[in-house]
Amino acid sequence: KVKLTIDGIEMEVDKGTTVLEAARDVGIEIPTLCHLKGVCESSSCRVCVVEVGPRLIASCTLKAEPNMKIQTNTKKVRDARRTVVELLLSDHNRECTTCNRSESCELQSVSKDLNVRTIRFQGAKSKTGIDHSSASIVRDSEKCILCGRCIGACSNIQTVHAIGFAHRGFETKVTTAYDRPIGETSCVNCGQCISACPVGALTERDNTHDVWKALSDPTKYVVVQAAPAIRVALGEEFGYPMGTRVTGKMVAALRKLGFDKVFDTNFAADLTIMEEGTELISRLTSGENLPLMTSCCPGWVKFMEHNFPDMLDNLSTCKSPHQMEGAMIKSYFAQKEGVDPKSIVNVSIMPCTAKKFEGEREELSNEGLQDVDYVLTTRELAQMIKEAGIDFRNLTGDTFDNPLGLGSGAGAIFGATGGVAEAALRTVYEVLAGKDLDAIEYSAVRGLDGIKENELELPNGKKIKTAVIHGLGNARQVMELIQSGEKHYDFIEVMACPGGCVTGGGQPIVNAKTQTAVNVKQERAKAIYEEDQSLQFRKSHKNPYIQMLYSEFLGKPNGHLAHELLHTHYVK
Ligand code: HC1
Ligand code: SF4
Ligand code: SF4
C-alpha cells in the first residue's frame, strides 16, 4: 500500500495505482482524452496534468509514491489543461453542429468543462480528406486528435494492426501502411476503433439515406430485422440506464418508421443452430475439419482469411443468422406472401459495423440477389427514430411479425460471448440424448474471460471440447496453439469484439469515463440473459416457427435446399 495526498485528502492505494485512478477513487475527476483503460495507456494528450511540487505531470501514467502531494485544481493546472485543449482545437475541424459525434464527443465536453472560449493559436491546418473506401468505416483525419485510442483497439486488443502513427511533428497522422485506403487493407471492419475514438474521426458508413429512400419507394417491399444485441442497448440512446431491455419499444419504433414487416434475427439464430448443430454432429462423427469454428462474426471470418487462410475449411459453412434471415425472406417468405423477391429490400439492424461489409459479400447472395441489402448500426437506427420525431420513451411495446419473428432464448443469447456455443449445446445435447432436458444453462461458457475452455460428455459417450473466445488478440493466440498442435478442440466460438456483439462497433458510444466506472459488457450481457429467461421457448429446435419452416419449405437441416440457401464457402 502507498500513502499519498491529493488535494489535501489523505489516502492509501495499492502499489502501482496511477494518480489518475487514485483521484477518481475519491471522486476527483481529472479530464483526459487519450486514456482508455486496457486499450490505450500512453499519456499522449497531456490534458490530465496535475501539480507535483513545482512540476506539471500527466497523471494517467504517474504512479502513486509514498508521501506524494498532488494538486489537481490550481490555476497553473487549469491554465495548462486549457492550453493543451486550445492547441488541439487549433488544428481540428470544428464543424461540431454537423459532426456525427456532436454531444458524444469527448473533446467537445472537455473543452466545455475547461471553459475554453477562444483559441489563441491560429496557424496552418492539416488537410487530409476523408477515407470512404471501406464498406464499414469512414475515417476523417481532420478530426483526429492523435490520442492513439483507435490504434490501441486495433493493435493491442485485436492484433490486426491496420492503423498506426506515421510521420512526425505537425505531419503526424494515424493511417494505414503506405497510406492505402483502409478498405484495401487487412482491417476486419470490427469498428472497435470507432468505439474507442473520443471524437468524430472514425464513424460507421452512414446508410440511413439508402433506407429512407427504400421506405419512400412504393415499388419496394421493405423488411427489417433486428439483431439480438440491439434490444439491450438501443435504450441508452434514449436515456435509459445501461442494460435496459427495450424489445417492445424497438419493434414499435421500427413499425412506425414504415417497414412492411418487422422480423427478428433471433429467429435466424435458431435456424443457424439447427444447421450448425447438425454440421457439428456430422463433423464429430467423420472427424473431418475439426475444430468446427463459428462463422457468424464477419470480423472473425475476415481475420481468418487474412491470417489463417489454410484453416478456412474449419469455418462452419453456415451463413450468419441475419444473412440466413435475409435468404429466407427472399425465398420462403416471398413465396408464402406472394411478393416478388426482386422488389424486397432487406434491412438488418446490427450492433456491428462489419455486418455492412458482410452484407455486400458476393458469397452471400442467391440468384443475383443479395441476402441483405442494407445494414444499419444501433446508432443509425436511433438516428432514424429521432429524425422521424418518434417519442421512443412513450411508445407502447409491440411484437414481431411472423413467420420469421419468433426467437427462442437460445437465439437471444447469441448477442453475448459464449451465447452461440451455449445455444448449440442446448440443441446438440438434447438431439443426441433423444429426450428433453431441464438443465439448459451452460455456465462454463458464460462470463468475460477472454478464452473459456470447456469439456462436456455428450449422451453418445463422445466428449466435446469447446473453446469460447472474444477479442481477436485472444483468437490469434488460440489459433497459433491449434496450429502448433499444442491445443485440440472440437468446437470453437469466436466473436471479434471483446464481450461479443453487445459491445460491437455499432453500439451506442460509451465515453471513457463511463467505461471506467461501469462494466459495459457485463451490464448489456446481463440483459441478454434476462431476455433468454423471459422467453417461452429456450431451445432453438423447440421454436415452433423453426419446425414449420423445415416442414413447409426446407426439408431437413443440412438438406439440399438448406445447403443452397443457408450455407456458403469462404475460399482463399
Ligand atoms: Fe451478432 Fe449474430 S449474434 S453476429 O453478434 O450471429 O452483429 O447481436 O446479429 O447475424 O443472431 C451481430 C448480435 C447478430 C448474426 C445473430
Ligand atoms: Fe482495426 Fe477493427 Fe478499426 Fe479495422 S475496424 S481499423 S480492424 S479496429
Ligand atoms: Fe484518437 Fe480517434 Fe484519432 Fe484514433 S482516430 S487517434 S481514436 S482521435
Find the 505 Cα to ligand 1 centroid distance in Å. Answer: 12
What separation in angstroms does the CA of 264 have from each of 254, 357, 403, 545? 11, 20, 10, 12
The one catalytic residue in 51, 142, 276, 523 is: 276
| Residue pair 349/224 in contact by the 8 Å Cβ criterion | yes
Does the fold of domain 209-566 match that of domain 2-88?
no
In this structure, the residues whose C-beta lies within 6 A of any atom of ligand 3 are 144-150, 174, 196-199, 201-202
Q: Can the peptide bond before residue 403 be classed as cis, meaning omega within 30 degrees of 0? A: yes
> Sign of the C-alpha dihedral, residues 227, 233, 237, 240?
positive
CA distance 410 to 272: 11
| CA dist., res. 46 & res. 51, Å (int) | 13
Cβ 259 vs Cβ 347: under 8 Å: yes
Cell numbers linked to 142:
481532420
Q: How confident is the model at residue 342 (pLDDT cuts 50, 70, 90)?
A: very high
- Per-residue model confidence as pLDDT tens digits over 506-550: 999 999 999 989 999 999 999 999 999 999 999 999 999 999 999
Contacts with 386 (C-beta within 8 Å, 6 or more apart), sequence order: none
Q: What is the pLDDT of residues 408-461, one digit of tens each?
A: 999 999 999 999 999 999 999 999 888 887 777 888 899 999 999 999 888 888
What pLDDT is recorded for position 545?
98
Is-catalytic flag, 237?
A: no
User: What are the cell numbers at 360?
Assistant: 455486400
Task: Please give the model's pTM, rounded to 2 decimal places.
Answer: 0.96
Residues 6+ apart with CB under 8 A from 210: 374
- Write down the pLDDT at residue 44: 87
Query: 437 burial class (0-12, 13-18, 19+ CB within 10 angstroms)?
Result: exposed
Q: Which of 330, 355, 356, 539 is catalytic?
A: 355
The Å distance, Cα 515 to ligand 2 centre, comes to 19
Query: 493 and 294 in contact (C-beta within 8 Å)?
Result: yes
288: Cβ contacts below 8 Å, ≥ 6 apart: none
Told to judge if 316 belongs to the known catalytic residues of this protein, a careful annotator would answer yes
Atom of ligand 2 nearest to the CA of 505: 5
Q: Tell whether the model's pLDDT for residue 191 goes beyond 90.
A: yes
* DSSP-derived 3-state class of residue 172: coil
pLDDT in tens, 81-139: 999 999 999 989 999 999 999 999 999 999 999 999 999 988 777 777 899 999 999 99
Say if residues 272 and 321 touch (Cβ distance below 8 Å): yes
Dihedrals φ, ψ of 251, to 5°?
-65, -45
Residue 193's nearest CA partner among 175, 172, 169 is: 175
State the pLDDT at residue 145: 94
CA of 299 to the centre of ligand 2 (A): 9
Q: Which residue has the higher pLDDT, 466 or 443?
A: 466
Other beta carbons within 10 angstroms of residue 103's beta carbon come to 9
- Predicted confidence at residue 360, as pLDDT, reads 97
Mean of all residue pLDDT scores within the chain: 95
Class in CATH terms, 126-204: alpha beta
Distance CA 149, CA 41 (A): 8
Q: List the one residue out of 261, 536, 267 whose CA is nearest residue 401.
A: 261
Considering 136, 141, 316, 320, which one is annotated as catalytic?
316
Q: What pLDDT sits at residue 485?
A: 96
DSSP 399: -
pLDDT of residue 128: 77
Question: Grid coordinates 492503423 are at which residue?
Answer: 163
pLDDT tens per residue, range 140-169: 999 999 999 999 999 999 999 999 999 888
The helix (H) or strand (E) run that includes residue 344 is: strand 344-350
Say how far apart CA 512 and CA 29 lie, in whole Å. Answer: 12
- Look at residue 187 in the predicted model and tell me its pLDDT: 98
- What pLDDT sits at residue 17? 95
Residues whose CB is less than 8 angstroms from the CB of residue 520 and which lie 6 or more positions away in sequence, other chains included: 242, 499, 502, 503, 510, 514
Q: Read off the C-alpha cell for 193.
A: 476503433
Q: Which CATH class is domain 2-88?
A: alpha beta
Q: Is 500 in the pocket of ligand 1 (CB under 6 A)?
A: yes
CATH 3.40.50.1780 holds for 209-566: yes
Question: What is the domain partition of the chain in residue ranges?
Answer: 2-88, 126-204, 209-566
Query: Which residues lie with the beta carbon below 6 Å from any ligand 2 atom?
Result: 137, 153-154, 158, 160, 162-163, 187-193
Q: Is pLDDT at 32 greater than 90 in this prediction? A: yes
- Catalytic (active site) residue 279: yes
Omega cis (within 30) before 351: no
| Dihedral of alpha carbons 133, 138, 139, 140, sign | positive
